[in-house]
Amino acid sequence: MGHAQLPVVPSGLGATMRPDRWWVQPAIVFLLLSTFIVYATWAAFQGEHYTHGPYLSPFYAPELFGASSHAWFGPRPAWWPAWLVFSPALLILPFPGIFRVTCYYYRGAYYKAFWADPPACAVGEPRKRYRGEAAFPLILQNVHRYFLYVALGFLFLLATDVYKAMWFTDPVTGPTSFGIGVGTLVLLANVTLLGGYTLGCHSLRHIVGGYLDQLSRFPARKRLYDCSSCLNRAHMRWAWTSLFSVAFADLYVRLCSMGVWSDWRIV
Amino acid sequence: MATETLKPDLADTGASEELEPPHRQPDPPATATFRVWRGDREGGQLVDYTTSVSPGMVVLDAIHQIQADQANDLAVRWNCKAGKCGSCSAEVNGMPKLMCMTRLSELPLEKPVTVEPMRSFPPVKDLVTDVSWNFRVKTRIKPFRPRAPDAADGTWRMTQPDVDRVQEFRKCIECFLCQDVCHVLRDHQLQEEFIGPRFLVHVAALEMHPLDVEDRVADLRRAHGIGYCNITKCCTQVCPEHITITDNAIIPLKERVVDEFFDPLGRVLKVFSRGGKA
């Protein structure tokens, strides 16, 4: 099937007849994602100020090994290489990180913003060769659903962290009592937004029922599919709000731990 | 030739002048310049035409006005003027649009409005392109194959919720704007390897149909090249029928490909479940 290209086609990076500011959206995506990546990497390597009272930063949750009382298996393990900086977040962050990197929404967003592939709709690209996700390395994006399974587990653990964030130990007398602080609400908002993002994942929508052509024969799956589809319709909004919330939750715990902010007890 | 503004007969509707929206958009300038691509397979150029405009006009009206008054040989394909036939697809100010559904009030008329043919297809003349490649692609897709009739009278039964999902895909008017904006076809010219969003929607309509039993998943990966789609959602953005092409058609098909080729754990689990192509 021969296919002659239109003789007037402008080609090359940014070539377009669009008069609007098409570059604004990819520029904003580039800026926001870059800021998040820089902050998350910096925060992950700190290895301190990730807890404050009953609060645990979501970047460090679950804390498998570490110095705080939240650690499941005690301090830094002996098998950890001496030459490698240790931080509890390094054992955790790769999983939600890859979940987001392979997310269908983020894929489309960062292909535009970081690879200019294309930079925007109907705007020229810098490179001629293209394999998309049909070949290595981007064919590896198909692992998304496996990281979804891990993310669902993390979601449950983050929800238990919110519960734990409701129990405050008196530093003087010692007993633990129920309470709600601003930090509790920050962690609650974070897990809610993460829930909206994770439970509306395209892969989850498929797994719970989307793969069936006669879904009405399975009423429970139909309900799950409808719920996931409902969240999926705003997947982009969930993706961004949960990205902000997880970074802000870490920042909140960090600044409280450093004494820059004071956590206000509501109850 | 100016197009007259049609005003509804207020006496018939029972409405009064005062019921007009208080924040009415200002009228566009009385004239506007349209930079129209003129040419054929050998080449062409953008030619400026200034014509009168009036409230309510769409780009196709302006093109027809130019055709009538200034360029009688200007080629433009159109039919219904109602956004339902998909004939008047073009690129207005660089974005694929139906000319009949693009109001002049949405465009910055203080600058020339560029009107070009769809870039992903070979030009025939002026704004008319040869879209026959699409029809050849369609013949490569396995057609609908229903399961055995399940009713005593030799017919089938299916439920409305199951049909609802594929009904969205049946709204497609085959304007091919999604094919035009898709960078895999537009910039990389991979027509041999990739069937494009229009036909992924077509495959989704067949593959997710509650009666269909044909298996197109292997074709999706190999012959139809679904892996070339990198989910930029431009197809969804330009669809005049507002079909959620990427989220409801392409990604679910990608997930079916993952089921078949990239998820060994899921395949094992499905052996023990009631799933499959139910």
B12: confidence class by pLDDT, cuts 50, 70, 90: very low
Q: What is the per-residue burial (b if ≥16 Cβ within 10 Å, else e) of A8-22?
A: beeeeebbbbbeeeb
Q: B33-89, pLDDT tens digit by residue?
A: 999 999 999 999 999 999 999 999 999 999 999 999 999 999 999 999 999 999 999
Contacts of A13 in chain B (CB under 8 A): none
Q: What is the per-residue burial (b if ≥16 Cβ within 10 Å, else e) of A189-214?
A: bbbbbbbbbbbbbbbbbbbbbbbbbb
For residue A172, the model assigns a pLDDT of: 81
Instruction: Collapse the DSSP code of B233 into the 3-class scheme (helix H, G, I; strand E, B; otherwise coil) and give the result.
Output: coil
Q: A135-155, pLDDT tens digit by residue?
A: 999 999 999 999 999 999 999
Does the beta-carbon distance from B119 to A9 stay under 8 Å?
yes
Q: Which domain-ending residue is among B129, B156, B188? A: B129
B261: confidence class by pLDDT, cuts 50, 70, 90: very high
Closest-CA residue of A relative to B189 is A3
Contact yes or no for B204/B169 (Cβ under 8 A)? yes
Specify the amino acid at residue B72: N
Has residue B5 been placed in a domain? no
Has residue B277 been placed in a domain? no
- Whether residues B182 and B154 fall in one domain: yes
Report the distance separating Cα A118 and Cα B187, nearest Å.
9
Does the beta-carbon distance from B93 to A20 stay under 8 Å?
yes
Average pLDDT on B228-249 reads: 98
For residue B270, the model assigns a pLDDT of: 75
Between chain A and chain B, how many beta carbons pairs sit less than 8 Å apart?
170
Has residue B276 been placed in a domain? no
B88 phi and psi, to 5 degrees?
Answer: -95, 35
Distance of CA A121 to the CA centre of its chain: 25
Torsion of Cα atoms, B198 then B126 then B232 then A226, to 10°: -40
Q: A173-231, pLDDT tens digit by residue?
A: 888 999 999 999 999 999 999 999 999 999 999 999 999 999 999 999 999 999 999 99
For residue B268, the model assigns a pLDDT of: 85
Closest CA to A180 of A99, A90, A263, A78: A263
The residues near A164 (Cβ < 8 Å, ≥ 6 apart) are A54, A56
Report the distance separating Cα B237 and Cα A20, nearest Å.
15
Report the distance separating Cα A49 and Cα B257, nearest Å.
44
Has residue B1 been placed in a domain? no
**What CATH number does residue B250 fall under?**
1.10.1060.10
Per-residue pLDDT in tens (0 to 9) along chain A, 267 residues = 444 444 445 578 889 999 999 999 999 999 999 999 999 999 999 999 999 999 999 999 999 999 999 999 999 999 999 898 999 999 999 999 999 999 999 999 999 999 999 999 999 999 889 999 999 999 999 999 999 999 999 999 999 999 999 999 988 888 899 999 999 999 999 999 999 999 999 999 999 999 999 999 999 999 999 999 999 999 999 999 999 999 999 999 999 999 999 999 998
Tokens of A139: 């064919």
- List the domain range (segments joined by +) for residue B16: 10-129
User: Which residues in chain A (11-70) have CB-CB distances under 8 A to chain B?
Assistant: 11, 16-20
Is B27 a residue whose pLDDT tops 50?
yes
Torsion of Cα atoms, B211 then B217 then B219 then B221, to 10°: 150
Report the distance separating Cα B188 and Cα A118, nearest Å.
11
User: Which residues in chain B (151-180) have CB-CB distances under 8 A to chain A?
Assistant: 158-159, 161-162, 165
Has residue B3 been placed in a domain? no
Instruction: Collapse the DSSP code of B51 into the 3-class scheme (helix H, G, I; strand E, B; otherwise coil) and give the result.
Output: strand
**Does residue A130 belong to the interface with chain B, where contact is any CB pair within 8 Å?**
yes
Partner residues linked to B113 by β-bridges = B34
Q: B173-218, pLDDT tens digit by residue?
A: 999 999 999 999 999 999 999 999 999 999 999 999 999 999 999 9
Instruction: Collapse the DSSP code of B178 into the 3-class scheme (helix H, G, I; strand E, B; otherwise coil) and give the result.
Output: helix
- Whether residues B149 and B102 fall in one domain: no
Has residue B78 been placed in a domain? yes
Does the beta-carbon distance from B119 to A7 stay under 8 Å?
no
Pairing of strands B113-116, B31-40: parallel
Residue ranges of domains in chain A: 24-258
Rg (CA), chain B: 23
N-terminal to C-terminal alpha carbon distance within chain B: 60
What are the DSSP calls for A22-84, one per residue?
Answer: TTHHHHHHHHHHHHHHHHHHHHHHH-SS-EETTEE-GGG-S-SS-SSTT-SS-SS-TTS-TTS
Chosen for mutation from A17, A139, A145 (greatest number of chain B CBs closer than 10 Å) is A17
The angle, 0 to 180 degrees and rounded to 10, between the axes of the packed helices A235-258 and A182-199 is 150
Is B7 a residue whose pLDDT tops 50?
no
Between A139 and B18, the more confident residue is A139
Q: Is the peptide bond before B28 cis (omega within 30 degrees of 0)?
A: no
- Whether residues B88 and B155 fall in one domain: no
Element (H, E) at B89: strand B89-92
Report the distance separating Cα B228 and Cα B265, nearest Å.
25
Instruction: Collapse the DSSP code of A184 into the 3-class scheme (helix H, G, I; strand E, B; otherwise coil) and give the result.
Output: helix
Report the distance separating Cα A74 and Cα A61, nearest Å.
14
Contact yes or no for A125/A119 (Cβ under 8 A)? yes
Report the distance separating Cα B172 and Cα B195, nearest Å.
16
Domains in chain B, number: 2
Closest CA to B243 of B86, B122, B80: B86
Has residue B256 been placed in a domain? yes
Candidate from A44-53, B29-38, B165-174, B268-277 with smallest mean pLDDT:
B268-277
Report the distance separating Cα A135 and Cα B193, nearest Å.
13
For residue B277, the model assigns a pLDDT of: 55
Closest to B191 (Cβ–Cβ): which among A3, A135, A138?
Answer: A3
- Whether residues B138 and B114 fall in one domain: no
Instruction: Collapse the DSSP code of B98 into the 3-class scheme (helix H, G, I; strand E, B; otherwise coil) and give the result.
Output: strand
Q: Which domain-ending residue is among B77, B98, B129? A: B129
Q: B119-160, pLDDT tens digit by residue?
A: 999 999 999 999 999 999 999 999 999 999 999 999 999 999
Closest to B252 (Cβ–Cβ): which among A4, A132, A206?
Answer: A206
Contact yes or no for A177/A128 (Cβ under 8 A)? no
For residue B14, the model assigns a pLDDT of: 41
Closest CA to A209 of B2, B69, B255, B102: B255
- Whether residues B73 and B122 fall in one domain: yes
Tokens of A60: 């460090």
- Whether residues B121 and B213 fall in one domain: no
Has residue B184 been placed in a domain? yes
**What CATH number does residue B96 fall under?**
3.10.20.30
- Whether residues B169 and B242 fall in one domain: yes
Instruction: Collapse the DSSP code of B37 into the 3-class scheme (helix H, G, I; strand E, B; otherwise coil) and give the result.
Output: strand
The residues near A14 (Cβ < 8 Å, ≥ 6 apart) are A23, A119, A123, A124
Report the distance separating Cα A165 and Cα A256, nearest Å.
14
